[in-house]
Structures are given as C-alpha cells and as structure tokens.
Amino acid sequence: MKKLYKYYLIVFFPIFSSGQISTFHSGFNDIFFKTDSRPWLKFYNTDSDTLVAPNTDTIQYFSLDSKLFSIGSANKSDYACTYLFSASLFSNFKNKITFTSHFDYLAGNHNKLIKEFQDSLFIFPGFGREKSRLQYNLKYFVNKFITVDFGKGKHFIGNGYRSLMLSAEHSPYPYLKLSTEFGRVKYYNLYTTFLDIQDPNQNRKKHSSIHFLDFSLTENINIGIFEGVLWQAKNENYNRGYDLEYLNPIIFYRPVEFSKHSPDNVLIGGNFNAKIKTTTFYGQVLLDDLNISRQKDRDEGYSEGFFQNKFAYQLGLKSSFKKINLLLEYNQAQPYTYAHKEPMQSYTHFNQALAHPLGANFKELLMLANYSKQKWKFSIKLTHAKVGLDSLYSHYGQNIFVSDFEAQGVGSQYSYGNFNGQGVSTIINTLHTEILYSFKWFDLFGSVFYKNKKSDLLDQTLLWYSVGIRTFPFSTFKDY
C-alpha cells in the first residue's frame, strides 16, 4: 500500500540558564548568525521554515531529544535557573500539504532583570503574558509557482542579524502568507493580526498587510521592495475590522492609503544583497511618513529634522574564510520612526517593536565572528549602540509607543530640528563570547555575557556566566 504520511515529533526537556532571557525561537536559529542554517533567504518564517522532515520512507517517525541545559550565576548573591520544555510536530501529505507545530513552556526562577522586564512590559520576551506559546504553520503548495501558508508564528525580512522591516524578537502572531515565484522574481503577501496591550487589561487588535518583492538582477545580486500598512481594528467611532482594500495583492498601497485620508501607518523600503565569492554585502532602507512637500521654500518654519520625514537604514557584510565566519553591521533609525499619531497604530506587537528591538532614535554597530575546528567552536559577539532616551515628561523619539504628535521640539506639532541621539544620550555595550565542544548527541558549552548601559543618569554593568549542554545553538541573553 502506498505510504502517504510522514510524521516528525521532537520533545525537548529542561533548560537551566543564567542571565537574561531573549526571544526563544522554536526553529534552529543560530546563536549568532540567524540565517546560517538557511540559504540567503529574504523573507522566511522563523519557525516553520526551519524544521525539515527527516528523509525516511517510514510512515511514522518519532524522535526524543533534549534541547538545552545550562546553569550559571551573575555573582554570589544573584543566581537563577530557567527551564524550557518544548515539543515539535511535522507532518507531510503527498508533498502537497505540510503541517508544523511547536509548543514551548517556560518555567524557573528568573533573575531580577527578567522580572523587571515582565513588571514593566507585562510580558516575557518572545512569549507574551503567559509562559507558554503554541506556534504552527499549515503550508499548501498550490502549484510550482504559488504557496500558501497559514498559522501563528514570526517572520524575518532581510539578510542581516537585525531587520529594519520585520524581525523575530517579539511574540508570535496569526498570519496568512502567499508566496509567488517565477523566474527571477519572488513575491510575498503577508496578512497579519497584531495586539496592542499598552492597557494590560485589554487585547486591542490591529491588522497589517505587507508586500515584499525580491528580484534577482544576477545570480549573485538581489534587490527587494518592501511595503507595509498597519491599522487599528476599531476606534471610538466604528469597527473597521480587516479593510478589504488592503487585501489587494498588488504592491504599492500608498495611493489607497491617500484615498482614505492617510489614517494608517504606512512604511516603505528597499533591501539589497550582493555576493562576491565568499563575501556578501547587504543593506536596507526604510521610509516612514515621507512628506517631500514640506520644504524650506514652502514652509516658513521649516528646519532640518521635521518629524514626519523619518527613516532607518542598514549596511553590512558577511564573509567566510578558513572556517571563520564574520559579520559586520551598522543600523540607524531616526527619532519617531515606526511611531504614529495614534499610539495604537505604532509598528509594534505585544509591547515589543516589530523591527529593531531598540525602537528608534539610535545608532548601532555590531560584530559577530565564529571559528570551528573539528568538534570545537568559538564564538564572539560585540554590539555598541548610542540611544537617545526620554527624560521625565519628554518624548525625544526612542519610545515608539508614544504618539509622534507629542514630539519634543520647536514648531508645535511639527517638531522641527530633530536629530539622531537627541534626549538622554545612552551608550549600550554588550559582549557575548562562547566556547563549545560537540558530542554525538549534544553540545557542551561555556559562555560569558557582559553588558554596560551608561548615561548621565545611570551606569549599569552586568556580568553573567553560563555552562551547560544543548542540542542546537540557543541564546538566553538580550543584546540590546
């Protein structure tokens, strides 16, 4: 009898860890290089696209494995253990329909920084209010050109370590994704529902529609066009729901958005990468609330920094030589980028930014490197960021949850004269170094994480040590 089904089950057991919890990705994301386990993807689901069914003719396939065990302490008086229990299931029907699901449960005695994060944002980073999360993806291959994905998870757009368009540092969300590929063109439609929980007693819905067009100029050069619009499901006057205009699969929403008197948060941008031998150059640029009509000769009060003309950009390179992988990346977002006059329509989900985790009003430089020799692996990650934070009763543009109509600066609501780094200048430096030895069934590792956050108002230094075992790369430290 012909075999039609394949099942893949992975059950993950306890995790003990010290330090701070970062987003737990259920997929096999590298601790430093988020796209190492994949080709140079421009738009992927961080969970469902990373779990691959085993190559076997068996009707059912089950695997039981441990995910991570680590233990450590910051100092003699501060010690914490974190546990993560996870299970994953994969099924395949005639190579036409696939289903992937991941369940994670978080437990343990978290350190005081995680407790402070939870107290201030009402969530566990990457999870939400609860310590458990379920992510799933149902994929249907319509034909050789079109694929439909439906589920709950996270996506990432770009080629670098960070993304200024859509990252995966936040909680999962429901989505519908259409992927179309023909010749040199790949085109994606992503329809989602996000939640605004600034009021901890409410889950207020906001929807988004995102287009991403990727075009291969040559075998080694790609360019991409990004467009996204986000709007609240209802306000005091009426219940909008999911606007039918935004179901239009054709790229460029701006004319539609203008026809609706521009009530929504629209972002546009570009992505590129070029590969030369073993080196890849990449970058992104994002525009938010572009208003080219406001110029010096048209507005008497105009000066540099009008808050509506907001942008962010990224430049980076990745290279490999003699078993050494290297990544250098620079990210910058101007004040108030991703924010909106209606705070609920900010580019956020579950009290976390949908793009860069620092929000806006920052400059960041990071370096990542790893080296492998036989069963040994050495990794190091350095980040340096300059952020302009708010002081009491001020809004300088880093906090994207606040209305940009409350912008700090001259010119009333137009807030002229804004510049990157304005406000309370804060320097954030992090260092994460690790040594790992691979056994047959697991990896034994030890790591050191250092973080310093300094401004005129504070000087905070953290140092964490961790040792443990794990079955694939995983990190428990926030590098922002």
Block mean pLDDT (10 aa), the chain, length 480? 39 33 27 32 46 38 43 60 74 83 78 70 80 89 93 92 92 93 92 88 88 93 93 79 80 62 84 94 90 55 63 95 93 94 91 93 96 93 95 87 78 70 94 91 85 90 81 71
Instruction: Give the pTM.
Output: 0.85
Q: Hey, what domains does the chain have and what are their CATH numbers?
A: 5-470 (2.40.160.130)
- Identify the three-state secondary structure at position 413: helix
Count of C-beta atoms within a 10 Å radius of residue 259? 9
Tokens standing for residue 19: 């330090």
Quote the CA–CA distance of 459 and 194 in Å, as a whole number.
35
Contact 172, 159 (CB under 8 A): no
**For position 76, what pLDDT does the model report?**
56
d(CA 437, CA 377): 7
Tell me the backbone φ, ψ of residue 413, rounded to 5 degrees: -70, -15
Query: What secondary structure letter does DSSP report for 128?
Result: B
| Residue 235 confidence (pLDDT) | 73
What does the pLDDT read at residue 283? 96
* φ and ψ of 384, to 5 deg: -135, 120
pLDDT number for residue 157:
93
Q: What is the pLDDT of residue 447?
A: 86
CA distance linking residue 156 with residue 48, whole number of Å: 12
pLDDT at 259: 59
